[in-house]
Amino acid sequence: MNIALLFCFIASFLITFLLTPQWIKIAHRINLVGKDMNKYDKPEVAEMGGLTVNAGFLFGILLYVAISTFYFKQSSFLIYILATISTCLIIMVIGMLDDLLGWKIGLKQWQKPLLTLPASLPMAFVNAGIATMQLPFLGSVDFGMLYPLLIVPLGIVGAANGFNMLAGYNGLEAGMGVIILSMLGLIAWKTSQGYVAMLAFCMVFALLAFLFYNWYPARIFPGDTLTYSVGALIACVAILGNMEKFAVLLFLPYFADFVLPLRAKMKVEAYAKVNRDNSLDLPYDKIYDVAHLAILALKKTKGKVYEKDVVLFILSIEAFLGALVFLWSG
């Protein structure tokens, strides 16, 4: 890797690291806060941390565009980078609206995919990705025009909304983003798709900076501004790098998190039942969330379970899954 490219990662990290504490102060001042539901005393925590993460990512990737254009004299892939940026920015704005207005309006789950659909248009319009995909049991399948018109929008909308599901615990969303994008970035770099790897790792470094403030006990929440944009970026990276099958495998915990609540006859939450010492118990008699599954498994092995334990357990499972995917990629 050329040393000049490292400045892009450093820029992404520093912008997010420096802006986040300033945004925390602003969010408290304008009362843009939410209760930390997995703490007994329910402290108020700054919201919409995705703004600073996206700022760091955007600065780092635009620096990469400048270096590629003026230093490496390469520009053939810039249209795909700009389409990815457009997708992430559009979906970030949608995430902001959801963060600010969703709880007031009472958006239903089926409405959110429709709202995020416009964010897929930039990637569809530049015909990003390869229409021929390797599918289990079917082998090589050429989707033709169905790929940009159907597969790409479905992938972006599905990833954005899916990544938004496994959430609500300090450091979980950012940590999962770091692991998934790191694996996809490494596979892209290994297969000589440098610009795809740069997209992934600029976000990874922004998320690592954010974790300084979002890790337990969190001073700021990511909000839909982060989960939507990171989920959409995962889809964009997978599409551009022809890594859809790897992304699907890395999303297995999210598929589980989608299926588990379907058994409930009532609206269920991912949050735990919190005791006075901040230890966690299962909130329901049955398991309706991957976090609940983690609490159950941990209680059988170590007795008392705390929020950090749940997050580390889920991240460990994802890291193990990521390692298997990386080895399978050859």
Give pLDDT tens digits for 263-273: 876 678 899 99
Q: What integer pLDDT is reported at residue 262 of this predicted model?
A: 86
Which token pair is 64? 């990469």
Give the pTM: 0.95
Residues 6+ apart with CB under 8 A from 300: none
Distance separating alpha carbons of residues 218 and 74, to the nearest angstrom: 41
Give pLDDT tens digits for 103-131: 555 566 777 888 889 999 999 999 999 98
Q: Please give the single-letter amino acid code of residue 64.
A: Y
Sort residue 326 into left (φ over 0), alpha (ψ -120 to 50) or beta: alpha
Q: Please give the single-letter amino acid code of residue 89.
A: L
- Mean pLDDT (the chain) is 93
Q: What integer pLDDT is reported at residue 266 of this predicted model?
A: 64
Residues 6+ apart with CB under 8 A from 25: none
Distance separating alpha carbons of residues 164 and 3, to the nearest angstrom: 34
